[in-house]
Amino acid sequence: MNTAIDHARHTPYANPGRHADLVAALPADPESLSAVARNVIVHYRASGEQLPDSSRHDIDARWLESILDLDQSRHPRPLDHPRAVTERVQGCCRDHTLFCVGALRSRGIPARSRVGYVGYFVDGWHHDHVIVEAWLDGRWRRFDPEVADPRPTLPSPMDIPRGELGGTGFVTAAEVWIGFRRGELDPSTYGVGPEVPGFRGERFVFDEVIHEVAHRFGDELLLWDGWGRIGEPDEPVSDEDARWLDEIAQLLVAADDIGTGAEVAEVAEVAEVALLDRYRRDPGLHPGAAVMQASPYGDPPVVVQLRR
């Protein structure tokens, strides 16, 4: 495991704050913890239910403490006590993952959110997605807290193997960017969804890599937050920006200590340290005191000050 950053320590985003006791009572095994996450948070557009307009802006509660504030204002009881679907906090994959990451860190278990794409929801499409990566049983183990049961395209949602480009598994945003730059994939099949034409392609993948770096180093921002070199959905990626991101993506992939042996671990740690240094120094990567919060509903963007 790389040691450039302590993934067992809370970040401002995943810290349960005043709800620490509630979170400390949660189970640590991925399957049980994921079930609680789904009990507290419902996907704002993929639940199959008609969710109330009164809670539609739950999705902007970027801090775990704020998410739990919303939950407890409606259900002042333990987090595993059943909640009606329409009374849950509206969120997305980022929030289910943040919930689990915060709970695992509360147990002293290193955990982080990974930003990338999956092909197991719709055949032939690669949805942008966020899943959990936790240090369990001596390795980084990935699991998807939104998926309750195995499916033909995802037989082990609580232990997801490394995916292949163009396949149905999970691949990181950096892996997709590198594959695109090598001409190995069509970026127009990577985005929010096949029914959302404006949020896919080269620019979308470019921005997702920046999100991946931020999440890796503890800035688990909303997927519609913008900062640094993140651009508008229809803004072309310049050659300069593409070359800049090539370096970042290569470091991200190298920092994943996939494989065994001291040499692999050393290479990964060197890459992790170099990436963290770039993240801290480069304003194109690192959010400052504020971000530009867009809206999946099409509301006007707003500037939001960040806690530190």
pLDDT of 53 higher than 70: yes
| 10 falls within a domain | no
pLDDT of residue 260: 56
The burial of 115, by beta-carbon neighbours within 10 Å (0-12 exposed, 13-18 middle, 19 or more buried), is given as buried
Closest CA to 71 of 17, 115, 125: 17
Whether the predicted pLDDT of 73 surpasses 70: yes
Q: What is the pLDDT averaged over residues 16-22?
A: 98
Instruction: Look over the chain and give the mean of its residue pLDDT values, rounded to a whole number.
Output: 94
| Interval 236-249: pLDDT, tens | 999 999 999 999 99
| Lowest-confidence region among 61-70, 146-155, 260-269, 271-280 | 260-269
* pTM recorded for the entire structure: 0.96
| pLDDT for position 265 | 75
Confidence of residue 86 (pLDDT cuts 50, 70, 90): very high
Specify if 57 maps to a domain: yes
Task: Give pLDDT, residue 267.
Answer: 82
Q: Is the pLDDT of residue 33 over 90?
A: yes
134: left (phi over 0), alpha (psi -120 to 50) or beta: beta
Is 9 inside a domain boundary? no
> What pLDDT does residue 259 have?
56
Of the pLDDT bands very low, low, confident and very high (cuts 50, 70, 90), residue 4 is: confident
Task: Give pLDDT, residue 1.
Answer: 64
Q: Is residue 225 part of a domain?
A: yes
Is 239 among the domain residues?
Answer: yes
Q: How far apart are CA 31 and CA 157, in angstroms?
A: 9
pLDDT band at 166 (very low <50, low <70, confident <90, very high): confident
Domain that holds residue 185: 17-305
Domain annotation covers residue 3: no
- Number of domains composing the chain: 1
Res. 115: pLDDT tops 80: yes
Residue 297 lies in a domain: yes
Least confident window among 61-70, 125-134, 163-172, 277-286:
163-172
Residue 28 lies in a domain: yes
